[in-house]
Amino acid sequence: MNQNNFNKLISRQNTYSAKWCNSNANVIPLSVADMDISAPDFIINKLSQFNLNRYLWLYRS
């Protein structure tokens, strides 16, 4: 398995993320367990395969 890049910044704004969707720009929300790191490529690839079969996942990380 490849190493994940934990230093890469991921913007979750406008991605239906409960943590960032309704937050003020001056507030850092710390109450919801959304991951603010990129998902591993093998997970993104597998979810994309399911999406081809008309399943839905809301946002790419």
* Higher per-residue confidence, 45 vs 5: 45
Task: Provide the pLDDT for residue 5.
Answer: 73
Task: Provide the pLDDT for residue 7.
Answer: 80
Task: Provide the pLDDT for residue 61.
Answer: 47
CB 60 within 8 A of CB 11: no
Cα gap 2→6, rounded to integer Å? 12
Say whether pTM exceeds 0.75. Answer: no
Q: 48: alpha, beta or left, given left = phi > 0 and alpha = psi -120 to 50?
A: alpha
Cα gap 10→48, rounded to integer Å? 19
pLDDT tens digits along 6-59: 787 777 777 777 777 777 778 777 766 666 677 788 887 887 777 665 655 555
What is the token pair recorded at 47? Answer: 């979810």
